[in-house]
Amino acid sequence: MAKEQTITVPDIGNNKDVSIIEVLVKAGDTVKKEDSLITLESDKAAMEIPSTHAGTVKGVIVKVGDKVSQGSPILVLVEDEGGAVQLAAVEPAQDAIASTPGSLAILTDAPSNTITVPDIGNNKDVSIIEVLVKVGDIIGKEDSIITLESDKAAMEIPSPRGGEVKQVLVKVGDKVSRGSPVLVLAGAEDGPALAMAQPTPAPVPATAQIATPSATRATPTLVAIDDYGPSTGNKPHASPAVRRFARELGANVEKIKGTGPKGRILKDDVQAYIKSRLQAPETGSLGLNLIDAPEIDFSQFGPIESSPLSKIRKLTGANLHRNWVSIPHVTVNEDADITDLEAFRVALKSEAEKQKIKLTLMPFLIKAVVSALKAYPRFNSSLAPNGDDLIFKQYYHIGVAIDTPEGLVVPPVRDADRKSIYELAKEVAEFSDRARARKLRAPELQGGTFTISSLGGIGGTGFSPIINAPEVAILGICKAQTKPVWKDGQFVPRLLLPLSLSFDHRVIDGADAARFNAYLAQVLGDMRRVLL
């Protein structure tokens, strides 16, 4: 007999009040299980919501423009089933995203002895570059089990409990996200030993599916820049990934014509737009009409060896290139007299060593920088994506650039204004050790407001550090040198520390940068000023 079923929005992650941009069915339509009903657009993805049942649409409850969340009713479906009629809400489905080549299913209802990927920040589909355990291994709590490599760092994932490895669910090259199953443990430390059984695959319920462009969509064509005209102010249909890709290339999505379904902007459209801009004749605007670099066979000149770049080094290079090209950099230089500061640091060394703390110049630099940022808050800001507003931050997370064999990583010391010199020294040392051991977690690499890059242990007299966007300034430090300084009618030896401050000229004027550097040098010359 006929049975009515109310179809609701399934689990769509942490998204709430997501806009409906398309209703794909109407009353009277016959739908099959997994047929798409509506299309949602969140701040992370455009996704089609499939039906959990088959039947005939009795009534559609939503319309384009409505905002929905998990559990919101979409439509009423009449299905033909033998047996008793029972009208009930849809049971919450056990969430699982079907595996696709090169990716792993995310099981949100994994057994208690299934070890999953913990919070790794905003990273998704992160590559596994190393599996550190095998079946039969006995591991302890916090032992590393896999190594991931994101676009910011290589990181080892520890086990939250100990036990015997009964099954390894991943391999090198797989891509995982938060919640992806890694392995199955028996005899976990935080519970009784569990009798092992083959894990039952989770059913694939109504889950949000990423909308894929039709195979018959129009091919992007090169269009002259003027064909797009000025921004209309209307919100273009584009996924967050495409929007981010466009921002990285400096393209305004409001000026791009989409060739996907319903005019949706695709990655190919962004590339075509950028290509058309580069090929268009210059009309007073700056273009990057660069000739292609020639391919050279270096072996014709002598023996060579080719070594692949790590993912971190490649992505860091791409980000640095983008920042250098898109941000108008200016660097100002200053010498800070740290003679008295160095004497103070040396005097504290033995006291710090008793607390097992290596006291370097870096914690003093962080303290001085925080004082300068409070005096000149524009340096602790970011330019809004629309370019119309400046976002002033009321927190001080100071990034410290760390050189590792895999490449440069910049973990920020959070709330540096609230920490003592010893606390800063200890945290910087721990960051350095963990970065070189590839044990930094993704959330620890986010949220910086200002960066310090130090070559002090190597040498140099000055350089132009590249701004770590979305920050607006970065401080470069070179090796301190003893030089003669004219003081009180005579030359006296003083220890001078070179300061190189690069700043975003869209946000900061040269005079303000000079004042910032002079203030910083003054504080380093007399650290008592941080108390003022």
Pairing between β-strand 450-454 and β-strand 473-477 as defined by DSSP bridges: parallel
C-alpha distances in Å from residue 5, one per residue of 56, 63, 332: 10, 19, 68
- 479 and 334 both lie in a single domain: yes
Dist CA 416 CA 436 (whole Å): 22
Strands 163-168 and 181-186, bridge-based pairing? antiparallel
Contact 72, 8 (CB under 8 A): yes
Helix (H, G, I), strand (E, B) or coil at 521: helix
502 and 451 share one domain: yes
Domain boundary among 61, 80, 99: 80
Under a CB-based contact definition with an 8 Å cutoff, are residues 303 and 340 in contact? no
Tell me: cis bond preceding 111? Omega within 30 of 0 counts. Answer: no
Residue 181 counted as domain residue? yes
pTM summary value? 0.55
167 membership: H or E segment, kind and range: strand 163-168
400 and 361 belong to one structural domain:
yes
* Whole-number Å distance between alpha carbons of 270 and 394: 35
Residues 120 and 223 in one domain: no
β-strand partners of 3:
79
Told to judge if 505 belongs to the known catalytic residues of this protein, a careful annotator would answer yes
In 3D space, the residue among 107, 174, 120, 180 whose CA is nearest the CA of residue 151 turns out to be 120
Q: What is the CATH number of the domain that holds 243?
A: 4.10.320.10
Looking at the DSSP assignment, which residues form a beta bridge with residue 29?
none
Rounded to whole angstroms, the Cα distance separating 196 from 200 reads 12
pLDDT at 80: 60
Q: Are residues 219 and 182 in the same domain?
A: no
Asked, for residue 375, whether it belongs to a domain, the answer is yes
Quote the tokens at residue 506. 């869209």
Counting the structural domains of the chain, the total is: 4
The Cα angle at residue 499 between residues 498 and 505, in degrees rounded to 5: 145
Tens digit of pLDDT at every position of the chain (532 positions): 577 888 998 887 667 888 888 888 998 899 888 888 998 876 545 577 889 889 999 889 988 888 888 888 999 888 765 433 333 333 333 333 333 334 343 333 444 478 999 988 778 888 888 888 999 888 888 888 998 877 766 778 889 988 889 889 898 888 888 888 999 888 655 443 333 333 444 444 443 343 443 334 444 444 434 434 444 445 567 766 777 788 777 788 778 888 876 677 888 888 888 887 776 554 444 455 566 678 889 999 999 999 988 777 887 888 888 899 899 999 999 999 999 999 999 999 999 999 999 999 999 999 999 999 999 999 999 999 888 899 999 999 999 999 888 788 899 999 999 999 999 999 999 999 998 887 888 788 899 999 999 998 888 899 999 999 999 999 999 999 999 999 889 999 999 999 999 999 999 999 999 999 999 999 999 998 888 7
Residues 330 and 282 in one domain: no
Catalytic residue (one of 53, 321, 397, 505)? 505
Q: Where are the beta strands (DSSP E) in 326-426?
A: 329-337, 381-383, 390-392, 398-400, 402-404, 407-409, 412-413
Asked which of 55, 80, 105 is the last residue of a domain, the reply is 80
Instruction: List CB contacts of 202: < 8 A, sequence separation 6 or more.
Output: 94, 95, 96, 105, 107, 109
Residues 266 and 182 in one domain: no
Considering the domain boundaries, does residue 424 fall inside one? yes
CA distances from 109 to 6, 106, 146, 197 (A): 24, 9, 21, 16
Residue 309 belongs to a domain: no
How many helices and strands in the chain, by DSSP H and E?
A: 7, 28
Cα(470)–Cα(366) distance, integer angstroms: 19
Asked whether residue 173 falls in the same domain as residue 237, the answer is no
CA–CA separation, 189 and 84 (whole Å):
47
Region class of 22: left (phi > 0), else alpha (psi between -120 and 50), else beta: beta
Q: Is 197 a domain residue?
A: no
Whether 175 and 228 map to the same domain: the answer is: no
Q: What is the CATH number of the domain that holds 512?
A: 3.30.559.10
Residue 92 placed within a domain: no
DSSP state of 388: S
Q: What is the CATH number of the domain that holds 161?
A: 2.40.50.100
Full residue range of the structural domain in which residue 74 is found: 2-80
Same domain, 119 and 177: yes
Provide the pLDDT for residue 95. 39
Task: Say if residue 143 is in the same domain as residue 277.
Answer: no
Single out the residue in 27, 54, 80 at which a domain terminates: 80
Note whether 76 and 61 are within 8 A (CB): yes
Residue 245 — φ and ψ, nearest 5°? -60, -40
Please report the DSSP string for 81-119 in residue order. -SS-----PPPPPPPBPPP-TT----BTT--TTEEE---
Domain presence at residue 402:
yes
Q: Are residues 493 and 344 in the same domain?
A: yes
Q: Three-state SS for 236? A: coil
E strand or H helix at 141: none
Q: Answer yes or no: is 302 within a domain.
A: no
Contacts of 171 (CB under 8 A, 6+ apart): 128, 131
What is the pLDDT, as a whole number, of residue 281?
A: 52
Q: Are 81 and 1 a contacting pair, CB within 8 Å?
A: yes
